[in-house]
Structure 1
Amino acid sequence: MEHTRPLPTYLIQRFHGWRATTYQDNRAWYRRLAESGQHPRAMVISCCDSRVHVTSIFGADEGEFFIHRNVANLVPPYNPDGEYHGTSAAVEYAVTSLGVAHIVVLGHSNCGGVKGCHDMCTGHAPQLEEKTSFVGRWMDILRPGYEKVSGLPEDEILPALEKQAVLTSLENLMSFPFVAAAVEGERLTLHGLWTDTGEGGLEHYDPSRGGFVAV
């Protein structure tokens, strides 16, 4: 691979710092994880936005979460068409192989992917309408969510659409037969969360109230 280059110096320095401190202080734990395999309680599906740091939010250690990140924390509908489905594969592995007890979908404020969906649906992002746009075709998953909130005042649409991304993913998760069977068999529970990255707030979806409430 002639186009690859060595790591930047700052990343190498950070690695050596971690190796000399965190790893050395917990060497037995890391070796146990390596030898016994992973047994996470929960899968977290979050946005790949660099401001969303799942393990920091929940104070999690290595081995606790099976984490999958993608643009706008979306889960597509079940579609066994033989094509490439990274998110669907991660969900399948978490449920059928790891046997996680929880799947958490975590949305967040100021999500660029959600804004892209909004702009595309309102005709302000023609580049995302192109068939060759990976982001645009991925954000098609959220189009039904946009239709649900498009009638709100303009300043309320984006925050509402961020939460629709969570709800859309939860609905789509239940279209996977193995997810539905695990939920109905009480071996798996689904959870929807939204975090305010600037204020450090966290809300969860409460079906009894029909909306998101602070935890």
Structure 2
Amino acid sequence: MKAAKPLPPYLVRRYQGWKATTYSENSTWYKHLANEGQHPRAMVISCCDSRVHVTSIFGADTGEFFIHRNIANLVPGYEPDGAQHGTSAAVEYAVTALKVAHLIVLGHSSCGGVAGCMAMCSGHAPELLEKSSFVGRWMDILKPGYEKVKDEPDPETRQRMLEKEAVLTSLNNLMDFPFVREAVEAQSLSLHGLWTEIGAGALEYYDPAKGGFYPV
């Protein structure tokens, strides 16, 4: 593979610093994880956005969370069609193999994927409508959510509403997966919807009884 290059020096320095401090101080735990395997209690589906740092938000240690990241923290519908489905595969592994007790969908403020969906659905991003756009076809998952918020006149409020619709869309789609639904009905798995405001460090959870998001 001729296109591959060595790591840039700053990443090499960061690795060496981690190995000399964090790893060195916790080497017994890392060796335990390597020998005994992973046993995370929760899976988190979050956005690829570099500002969303799941382990920091919850103060989690290595081995605590099974994390899957994609554009706008979306879960597609259940489609056992023989194609390659990275998010669906991650959910299947977490629920059926790792037996996680909690499955969390974490949305966030200022989401670029959600902003792209809004632009695409309102006709301001024709490039995302092209069949060749991976981002556009992925954001098709959120189109029904856009229909629910499109009449909100304030752009900032509409963006925030759609970010939360992304969480709800994913939760609804998760329940279409037979193994997820069975685990939920057996009370061995619980689903959780969260949304974080990056700048304020705030975290909200979805309460189905009240039909909205509320501060944790």
**TM class by smaller structure:** over 0.9
Q: Deviations over 1:156-201 (max 9, x none)?
A: 2100000000000000000000000000000000000000001100
Query: 2: CA distance between counterparts of 1:132 and 1:33?
Result: 41
Aligned ranges for residues 1-215 of structure 1 at < 5 Å? 1-155=1-155, 156-215=157-216
Query: 2: CA distance between counterparts of 1:33 and 1:5?
Result: 30
Q: RMSD between aligned alpha carbons? A: 0.5
2:33 aligned partner, one-letter code: L
1:92 is displaced (CA, Å) by: 0.1
Query: 1: CA distance between counterparts of 2:5 and 2:27?
Result: 30
Q: Deviations over 1:54-75 (max 9, x none)?
A: 0000000000000000000000
SS at match of 1:191: strand
SS at match of 1:103: strand
1:154 is displaced (CA, Å) by: 2.6
Query: 2: CA distance between counterparts of 1:154 and 1:212?
Result: 19
1:116 is displaced (CA, Å) by: 0.3
| Sequence identity percentage | 70
> Which 4+ runs in 1 deviate beyond 2 A?
none
SS at match of 1:66: strand
Q: Deviations over 1:88-145 (max 9, x none)?
A: 0000000000000000000000000000000000000000000000000000000000
Query: 2: CA distance between counterparts of 1:42 and 1:164?
Result: 22
Gaps of 5+ in 2: none
SS at match of 1:208: coil
SS at match of 1:17: helix
Q: Deviations over 1:27-78 (max 9, x none)?
A: 1000000000000000000000000000000000000000000000000000
TM-score (norm 1): 0.99
Query: 2: CA distance between counterparts of 1:52 and 1:3?
Result: 29
SS at match of 2:152: coil
2:93 aligned partner, one-letter code: Y
SS at match of 1:194: strand
1:208 is displaced (CA, Å) by: 1.3
2:43 aligned partner, one-letter code: M
Number of aligned residues: 215
1:108 aligned partner, one-letter code: H
